[in-house]
Structure 1
Amino acid sequence: MSDLRSTQSVSKEMLSIADRLRQLISRWVRITRDQAGTPTSVQVETLRILNNEGPASIAALAQQRAVKHQSMRVVVEQLAIEGTIVKSADPTDRRNQIVSITGKGRSLLRQERRARALWIAQLLQQSCTSDEVAQVIAAMDTLERILAKAPKNSSS
């Protein structure tokens, strides 16, 4: 597959559609998180990484979040106090710690996902006709098909 970051073969119309879709999805996510009472935070994003990627060192987490090691160490300490992660010695280097999500951390993520899904379901139910819901489902199917063709990377 060709490099999807190249703009040489993209029409102005397609670029405009893509930008509108990007803006719409970003707005949808922000409004959903706000209305569901689940704003994003460094702590929650760190839990998501651990839940999706598995245990990691503080250095690896800092790199994935593009923050300084010391900043991530503070986040990890906060999460440990809350009981949403546990730290253990790295078996290959005892000077380092490996961070893992706990059942409490997974439960917190499930509660947040459920709150957002509930808000979206209520919005769809109150705002859409059955034909519009069918259009939303068709659009989701199309987006899933498109995403299936996207190159895979470690953050997918």
Structure 2
Amino acid sequence: MMSPYDQQAAQAAALAQDIRGLVGKLRRRLREQADVGDLTPSQTAVLLRLEKDGPTTTSSLARAEGMRPQSMGTVIVALESAGLVQGTPDPKDGRQTILSLTDTCRQLIREGRAARQDWLLRTIQARLSPQEQDVLTAAVALLERIVDD
């Protein structure tokens, strides 16, 4: 027979596995709602980093993403060709190019986030009663405690 401690540990392990699986499924469903086209995971990571951290150089992006500069260069060329990233000469060092998101890319990011938010809102309203929405609110607060430092 399991001790209460062992039972609680087994329950926590199962809960952790369930949460991880559900978060992955939710991420996939949200990704489906915002058409990101044919972007690779590396391209998506670069766009998100440029949005979060602001304009920077290819070598800085490569370091931040743990890639070789040559590999990052390939990613950047594809993003520039798609009209999502643009480069301008570095005013401090003309040999360097500062990369930033284009206005088109920023608009696509906004539209994608709006589509994901709209889908999630409609789904919550359609599938959960007001009481279940209250339970979900409490669950979100608990999840925040797990992820916040």
Q: What range describes the TM-score normalised by the shorter chain of this pair? A: 0.7 to 0.9
**Secondary structure at the counterpart of residue 94 of structure 1:** coil
- The Cα RMSD (Å) is 2.4
Aligned residue pairs total 139
Q: Percent identity?
A: 30
State the shift of 1:70 in Å: 2.3
Would you say the 8 A contact 2:85–2:101 is kept in 1?
A: yes
The 5 A counterparts of 1:68-83 are 68-83=68-83
In 2, Cα distance between equivalents of 1:37 and 1:101? 18
**Secondary structure at the counterpart of residue 67 of structure 2:** coil
In 2, Cα distance between equivalents of 1:65 and 1:36? 23
By percentage of residues, which structure has more helix?
2
**Cα separation, partners in 2 of 1:104 and 1:12, compared to 1, 3 Å:** same
In 1, Cα distance between equivalents of 2:22 and 2:12? 15
- Equivalent residue letter for 2:80: A
Q: Deviations over 1:60-114 (max 9, x none)?
A: 2223333332232122123223332221233454333221123222111111111
Structure 2 unmatched runs, 5+: 1-8
- Equivalent residue letter for 2:21: Q
Aligned partner (choices 19, 22, 34) of residue 21 of structure 1: 19
Name the larger-Rg structure: 2
Taking structure 1 as the reference length, the TM-score comes to 0.73
Q: Deviations over 1:122-146 (max 9, x none)?
A: 2212211111111122222222243
- Equivalent residue letter for 1:28: L
Structure 1 unmatched runs, 5+: 1-10, 151-156
Match of 1:58 in 2: 58
In 2, Cα distance between equivalents of 1:67 and 1:19? 30
Match of 2:32 in 1: 34
